[in-house]
Amino acid sequence: MRFDVRLTALRDADLIALIEADYNVRVMMEQAVVNYAHATPFKILLDVPLVCPENSPKVRFFSFVISDNDKDVNRLISFISKGKRSQFFKNCLRNAFSIQNLSVYLLDNAIDFQQRNIEVAGGCLERNVYPAPISVYKKTGCSSRRRTSQKTIS
Protein backbone atom coordinates (compact mmCIF):
# COMPACT_ATOMS: atom_id res chain seq x y z
CA MET A 1 0.00 0.00 0.00
CA ARG A 2 1.15 3.52 -0.73
CA PHE A 3 0.72 6.26 1.84
CA ASP A 4 1.18 9.98 1.40
CA VAL A 5 2.58 12.07 4.22
CA ARG A 6 2.39 15.84 4.48
CA LEU A 7 5.00 17.68 6.54
CA THR A 8 4.59 21.30 7.55
CA ALA A 9 7.42 23.48 8.80
CA LEU A 10 5.39 24.62 11.79
CA ARG A 11 4.61 21.16 13.22
CA ASP A 12 7.15 18.89 11.56
CA ALA A 13 10.39 20.87 11.43
CA ASP A 14 12.22 17.94 13.01
CA LEU A 15 11.24 15.60 10.18
CA ILE A 16 11.85 18.21 7.48
CA ALA A 17 15.35 18.68 8.90
CA LEU A 18 15.99 14.97 8.36
CA ILE A 19 14.93 15.25 4.72
CA GLU A 20 17.03 18.38 4.20
CA ALA A 21 20.05 16.54 5.65
CA ASP A 22 19.55 13.77 3.04
CA TYR A 23 18.33 11.05 5.39
CA ASN A 24 15.97 8.49 3.89
CA VAL A 25 12.84 9.34 5.86
CA ARG A 26 10.72 7.03 3.70
CA VAL A 27 12.67 3.97 4.77
CA MET A 28 12.83 5.07 8.41
CA MET A 29 9.07 5.66 8.51
CA GLU A 30 8.30 2.34 6.84
CA GLN A 31 10.53 0.48 9.31
CA ALA A 32 9.03 2.36 12.26
CA VAL A 33 5.45 1.50 11.26
CA VAL A 34 6.24 -2.13 10.47
CA ASN A 35 8.11 -2.63 13.74
CA TYR A 36 5.31 -0.93 15.67
CA ALA A 37 2.76 -3.27 14.06
CA HIS A 38 4.87 -6.31 14.96
CA ALA A 39 5.61 -4.97 18.48
CA THR A 40 9.32 -5.25 17.72
CA PRO A 41 11.70 -2.85 19.47
CA PHE A 42 13.11 -0.36 16.98
CA LYS A 43 15.20 2.67 17.88
CA ILE A 44 17.14 5.19 15.83
CA LEU A 45 19.87 7.13 17.57
CA LEU A 46 20.13 10.70 16.32
CA ASP A 47 23.83 11.18 16.79
CA VAL A 48 24.15 14.55 15.07
CA PRO A 49 22.24 17.75 15.80
CA LEU A 50 20.07 18.74 12.86
CA VAL A 51 18.83 22.16 11.88
CA CYS A 52 16.10 23.11 9.47
CA PRO A 53 17.52 25.57 6.93
CA GLU A 54 15.74 28.91 6.63
CA ASN A 55 15.16 28.42 2.91
CA SER A 56 13.57 24.97 3.25
CA PRO A 57 10.00 24.62 1.93
CA LYS A 58 7.18 25.29 4.37
CA VAL A 59 5.32 22.16 3.22
CA ARG A 60 6.83 18.87 2.05
CA PHE A 61 5.06 15.83 0.67
CA PHE A 62 6.43 12.33 0.30
CA SER A 63 5.02 8.85 0.06
CA PHE A 64 6.17 5.47 1.24
CA VAL A 65 5.10 1.94 0.47
CA ILE A 66 4.27 -0.91 2.83
CA SER A 67 3.81 -4.43 1.50
CA ASP A 68 0.23 -5.63 1.11
CA ASN A 69 1.32 -9.10 2.26
CA ASP A 70 2.01 -8.06 5.86
CA LYS A 71 -1.18 -8.92 7.74
CA ASP A 72 -0.16 -7.24 11.01
CA VAL A 73 0.54 -3.92 9.33
CA ASN A 74 -2.66 -4.06 7.28
CA ARG A 75 -4.67 -4.82 10.41
CA LEU A 76 -3.02 -1.95 12.29
CA ILE A 77 -3.69 0.50 9.46
CA SER A 78 -7.34 -0.61 9.24
CA PHE A 79 -7.78 0.67 12.81
CA ILE A 80 -6.56 4.18 11.93
CA SER A 81 -9.09 6.57 10.45
CA LYS A 82 -8.02 7.92 7.06
CA GLY A 83 -7.75 11.52 8.24
CA LYS A 84 -5.28 10.59 10.99
CA ARG A 85 -2.95 8.17 9.22
CA SER A 86 -0.33 10.73 8.29
CA GLN A 87 -0.11 11.96 11.88
CA PHE A 88 0.09 8.38 13.14
CA PHE A 89 2.97 7.58 10.76
CA LYS A 90 4.88 10.70 11.79
CA ASN A 91 4.45 9.85 15.47
CA CYS A 92 5.61 6.26 14.86
CA LEU A 93 8.81 7.65 13.41
CA ARG A 94 9.27 10.12 16.26
CA ASN A 95 8.68 7.30 18.73
CA ALA A 96 11.54 5.36 17.12
CA PHE A 97 14.05 8.09 17.89
CA SER A 98 15.99 7.55 21.09
CA ILE A 99 16.11 11.33 21.48
CA GLN A 100 13.84 13.90 19.92
CA ASN A 101 15.37 16.35 17.46
CA LEU A 102 14.41 19.56 19.23
CA SER A 103 17.39 21.52 17.93
CA VAL A 104 15.35 22.55 14.89
CA TYR A 105 13.32 24.83 17.16
CA LEU A 106 16.37 26.47 18.74
CA LEU A 107 18.38 29.36 17.43
CA ASP A 108 21.63 28.44 15.70
CA ASN A 109 23.79 29.47 18.66
CA ALA A 110 21.92 27.09 21.01
CA ILE A 111 23.00 23.90 19.24
CA ASP A 112 25.08 22.83 22.26
CA PHE A 113 21.86 21.87 24.09
CA GLN A 114 21.09 19.26 21.46
CA GLN A 115 24.68 18.01 21.46
CA ARG A 116 24.54 17.49 25.24
CA ASN A 117 21.26 15.58 24.91
CA ILE A 118 22.78 13.37 22.22
CA GLU A 119 25.67 12.51 24.53
CA VAL A 120 23.30 11.74 27.40
CA ALA A 121 21.09 9.55 25.18
CA GLY A 122 24.09 7.62 23.93
CA GLY A 123 25.27 7.03 27.47
CA CYS A 124 21.82 5.89 28.56
CA LEU A 125 21.66 3.32 25.80
CA GLU A 126 25.08 1.94 26.65
CA ARG A 127 24.20 1.61 30.34
CA ASN A 128 20.61 0.38 29.69
CA VAL A 129 19.20 3.38 31.54
CA TYR A 130 15.55 3.96 30.78
CA PRO A 131 13.24 6.74 31.94
CA ALA A 132 10.77 6.34 34.77
CA PRO A 133 7.33 4.96 33.85
CA ILE A 134 4.71 7.58 33.16
CA SER A 135 2.71 6.44 36.20
CA VAL A 136 5.29 8.29 38.31
CA TYR A 137 3.89 11.56 36.96
CA LYS A 138 0.24 10.77 37.70
CA LYS A 139 -1.44 13.33 39.92
CA THR A 140 -2.61 11.90 43.21
CA GLY A 141 -5.22 12.67 45.80
CA CYS A 142 -5.94 16.26 46.68
CA SER A 143 -3.98 17.84 43.84
CA SER A 144 -6.49 16.57 41.28
CA ARG A 145 -9.59 17.49 43.28
CA ARG A 146 -11.36 20.76 42.71
CA ARG A 147 -10.67 23.26 45.44
CA THR A 148 -13.46 25.26 47.00
CA SER A 149 -13.22 28.25 49.23
CA GLN A 150 -14.01 27.90 52.90
CA LYS A 151 -15.36 31.39 53.55
CA THR A 152 -17.46 31.80 56.66
CA ILE A 153 -20.49 34.01 56.66
CA SER A 154 -20.92 36.08 59.77
**Total domain count, the chain:** 1
Domain that holds residue 53: 2-144
pLDDT score for 129: 46
Provide the b/e sequence for 44-58 (b: ≥16 CB within 10 Å).
bebeebbbbeeeeee
Q: What is the C-alpha separation between 96 and 93, in angstroms, rounded?
A: 5
In a domain, 154, yes or no: no
In a domain, 151, yes or no: no
In a domain, 34, yes or no: yes
Give the type of residue at 59. V
Give the type of residue at 52. C
Extract the residue ranges of the chain whose pLDDT is less than 50. Answer: 129, 134, 143-147
CA angle 107, 110, 113 (to 5 degrees): 135
In a domain, 25, yes or no: yes
Per-residue pLDDT of 129-150, as tens digits, reads 455 554 555 556 654 444 455 5
In a domain, 149, yes or no: no
In a domain, 64, yes or no: yes
In a domain, 153, yes or no: no
Give the type of residue at 131. P
